[in-house]
Structure 1
């Protein structure tokens, strides 16, 4: 005589679907043949638990069983769900797979009853694509950090159906469990090899991995759960970014299909050319043009910096090509570990046209010793080694 299915699973007759599911998993884990090789009694109890679960997890089969007992299930006894009992394909393997995934950290199947898909009520859907945009910034904005408002042309979640693709949205009655995958959103194929059972899991082709089918599609989005539109967002750009850096905003890209997660928004930094400065890492370079008297006598000049005008003292006798350094006037490090400098490249301007008076003054200076070229000792050494190098090259 067949055993009572509730007793087989060790649950009360008013047990919920979740309680039945958990009880079955416990029994299946305990008596699974892989854990109990060469134990006929364990194999028998495993089959009993699978048969009991197959009936009690199906509302129609359970109702007939509650009213008529085993006689209400027909000739196949435990052949619930249209005769999938003893010869029900891979149903038992499916639930064992879920049970093991719960134990070893798999999120799918955790705490879900029969006919649910292990996801939120919004459905699985398909992920949206990432969105890439360019953001031009001035050097001052890079130095100080800035807040920018962007207008994006993208796929947005359909408001009329809450992104579900179904008429009436989340509150409607237009969803039904996918009959092909029983709401799991997945199709599993089991094959046997010398290494044991191999389970191949693929998205269900009928519901496209959603686990549900839609009876009436949303008129606004045509069942996609998303529409094309414009969205304005505000982003904070930290100081110290560089050309080619990316700022990534998670799930701010294109909306997914039928409740799927949105893609990411990837913002590529573009650096605009500056009127005065050239960037080299954290340092910036500025070209300072001096007259010959200023270079010879020394001077004080106002030079532009990223922080505003600053006074620079130029020593007498500065030469063209000299690099002067203004510390901490460059760009901040993105990680906050320091700041670059502003480098001043000195250029001595030579006039192209002279008046008669200017020409006479320069002619008077031409013969003075201090106005004759006098290479420094270091330059002389370089010149000597350069001549030696030329001889042997």
Structure 2
């Protein structure tokens, strides 16, 4: 089964928290033009209009996208050919263990691979995963993963704090 992000030509942005609905819609239109049987110039039939449409419907509907992203993160965190859910490259931390950039509103942590802001988490990502109290994100520079545990404090500003 093809990854929905790849179906829309967004494979490089599948863990990008800044991907907007407009970005998804533009990618959908472009993918339809590139792969429509009457319009395709390359003869590439690897993607069908149906698979592109399913990908768009899933990624453009916020709740469906949250579920899909969660499943995708878990799938990527699995060992190949092993039933263990997480490989040894997964660290588990609390949100308070990450640095918070007040100007951009993102939480970040450097990775042991040397990437200064290898793990970056946006407020939107935390809101999307709020019912689970955890978020799994990959490093931007290598194959390591970070599982971030957090709780939500309900108040006027809805601040994110660690559970525990």
TM-score above 0.5, yes or no: no
- TM-score normalised to structure 1 length: 0.16
Structure having the higher Rg: 1
- TM-score normalised to structure 2 length: 0.36
Question: Would you tell me which structure has more strand in proportion to its own residues?
Answer: 1
Question: Would you tell me which structure has more helix in proportion to its own residues?
Answer: 2
